Amino acid sequence: MIKTIICEGLEIEYPIFQGGMAWIANAELAAAVSNAGGLGIIAGMNSNAEQLKAEIRKTKEMTSKPFGVNVMLMSPFADEVARTVIEEGVKVLTTGAGSPSKYMPTWLAAGIKIIPVVPSTAIARKMERDGAFAVVAEGGESGGHVGELTTMALVPQVCDVVNIPVIAAGGIADGRGVAAAFSLGAVGVQLGTRFITAKECNVHRNYKDRVLNARDIDTVLTGKRLGHPVRSLKNRFTRNYLEKEYDSSISNEELEKLGLGVLRRAAIEGDIVEGCVIAGQIASMVKKEQTCREIIVELFEEAEKVMRGNLQWVK
């Protein structure tokens, strides 16, 4: 059994979070992960206040276990999402794609545990000063909006500069990745891509199949020119976007427009050719469709074996 300080702190059985994936992480997925003993997280990114409220209420009906909400700070709805989570009594928040500092005093006053995703040591330090309960150190192997550093480089450096718990994210698909994260000093892991093919995940069938068929070199970064690189699976959308990204006659505004609605297009409509199919670099390691419980139990059984196995080298 693998238990860490984050299990006690959040009253969860396994030290694992499910990433708050935009257009994918809904009530069904979050409740399934929480019921399996992890921390399920609802994506706040694609919701306005009303939609998020409905999703939170649905999750509460489906689980009595702790769950969280991810506040995507670049979302046009960030302010209303930030208010809604307080009104709905959400107890744990993760944040992404920016600094949540301006919201933190009111969230803390409401007794919410705040766990920002951080791409660097400077931001991790700031989050600790601002009252974060823990941080998720997310390496660039992740799908979606990513920072500069890899998980291998980022996690130990973040662990060295903060005294709050560190959760590792990015490039983790199986028990080996979980064990590696613990070796780097993390006390928990966050996985996104592995949960895309979960039986309880309602993302479009085409999206699941694209992840199941992915190869190791299939992901690419788009949007570097705009300052928010996003990792997704190569397709006509990424080829077209990259062509325009390196064309100086195309304005930033035109480039921004190309990215509008593409996450929904892939995840909800199933257009995996013209939509943005977000997935991490480990997509090719995701080969099975399992329940969230099967995924979590398997991950930690494997991790335990790897951690015990490593002792063979210790003389």
**Contacting residues toward ligand TUI, per CB under 6 A:** 22, 45, 72, 74, 96-99, 117-119, 123, 138, 144-147, 228, 230, 259
* Bridge partners of residue 145, in order along the sequence: 230
Which residue is at the shortest CB distance from ligand TUI? 144
> From the CB of residue 129, how many other CB atoms can be counted at a distance below 10 Å?
11
Q: Smallest gap, in angstroms, from Cβ of residue 186 to ligand TUI? A: 16
Side chain identity at residue 245, one-letter code: E
Kindly state the smallest distance separating residue 176's Cβ from ligand TUI, in Å: 23
Query: Residue 34 in contact with residue 60, Cβ under 8 Å?
Result: no
Q: Which of 155, 115, 108 is nearest to 18 (CA)?
A: 115
- Longest Cα separation, the chain: 62
To ligand TUI, the closest distance from the beta carbon of 294 in angstroms equals: 25
Minimum CB distance to ligand TUI smaller for 62 or for 169 = 169
Query: What is the C-alpha separation between 44 and 244, in angstroms, rounded?
Result: 30
For ligand TUI, which is the closer residue by CB, 2 or 33? 33
Task: Name the token pair of 252.
Answer: 């930033």
Contact 267, 257 (CB under 8 A): no
Task: Rank residues 123 and 299 by Cβ distance to ligand TUI and give the closer one.
Answer: 123
Nearer to ligand TUI, 46 or 63 (CB): 46
- CA quadruple 135, 140, 144, 146: dihedral sign: positive
Instruction: Give 65 or 210: the residue with its C-beta nearer to ligand TUI.
Output: 210
**Separation CA 290–CA 197 (nearest Å):** 7
Tell the smallest beta-carbon distance from residue 124 to ligand TUI (Å). 10
Report the nearest approach of ligand TUI to the CB of residue 249 (Å).
Answer: 23
